[in-house]
Amino acid sequence: MLRKPGRVLRPSLPVDYAETATIYESTVGKGVRSLVLTSAVPGEGVSTIAYGLAQHVAAVGKRVLLVDLNTHHSFAGESLALPRHGWDMGEDLAEQTVYAVPGRDLHILAAPAQGTFSVSRRSLEAVAATVRSWTAAYDIVIADAPCLTKPNSSGVPTPVLASCFDGVGLVVASGETTRDAISQGASRLVEQGAALHSVILNDRVTPSFRAEVDRQFAKWGGFGRLLRRLLWTPVAGLQVFDEGY
């Protein structure tokens, strides 16, 4: 049974999250109108960051299109429960193909239903023309693309996709991604002529400051719990303590 989109379209990251604001300022805030987010290897959190950034862009008053280009594991289809329509590179998008999030100037294009792009539409020219049409219709375009170091089941290599955007944000999982993988991914972008605009560190495996303080108090047993209640509880709810230390 298809879930109702409105029930799952909740923020993946707080709109005012400090890290999201930093990504915005270093990309869209510096005039990048089309940005593709990717990673060197799978599982780096690209989709979560792309979705969070798109929501932040919409919150500051810009009309934004979030494009899901991962035809194999569609974030929009699987996590947001949005319908996947048939569309291809080089085509004018039908209005019903793009999901408009109620109450926000955020629009989401899920990966194509057919699970791939046609061979005739995988050329650099077709991709570039498609990106131009998106930027003509929206203030900002953010694309969630597959990783760089594994084959793209859509048939359009991610470095080719990336070369058609103003900039590329390379998402790196802090403490997980190897230097060799990052170097290999960056090299593929450079070889294709893509503009590597920024490296985005995802600190999801780094405990928040709040979690680390709680862990330290727990070491002291009952006395630690008492100190925690007296000294830490009054300020522990501040959002700043959600960030990694």
Q: Give pLDDT tens digits for 93-118.
A: 887 899 999 888 999 999 998 777 88
Task: Delimit the domains of the chain by residue range.
Answer: 5-202, 209-242
C-alpha separations of 159 from 41, 60, 145, 214 in Å:
13, 29, 10, 43
- Enter the pTM of the model: 0.78
CA-to-CA distance for 129 and 125, rounded, in angstroms? Answer: 6
C-alpha separations of 86 from 1, 10, 117, 129, 180 in Å:
20, 25, 10, 18, 37
Query: Looking at domain 5-202, does it have CATH number 3.40.50.300?
Result: yes
Bridge partner residues of 202 (DSSP): 173
Give the pLDDT confidence of 152-172 residue by residue, as tens digits: 666 788 998 999 999 999 988
What is the pLDDT at residue 50?
94
Confirm if 66 and 107 have CB atoms less than 8 A apart.
Answer: yes
What is the pLDDT at residue 108?
96
Question: What residue type is 43 in one-letter code?
Answer: G
List of the chain residues with pLDDT < 70: 1-14, 16, 151-154, 203-212, 238-245
Query: For the chain, where are the alpha helices, taking DSSP H only?
Result: 5-8, 18-26, 46-59, 75-78, 124-137, 158-163, 179-192, 209-218, 221-227
What is the pLDDT at residue 244?
47
What DSSP character marks residue 92?
A: P
C-alpha separations of 199 from 23, 36, 140, 174 in Å:
9, 12, 19, 11
Burial tier of 230 (Cβ tally within 10 Å: 0-12, 13-18, 19+):
exposed
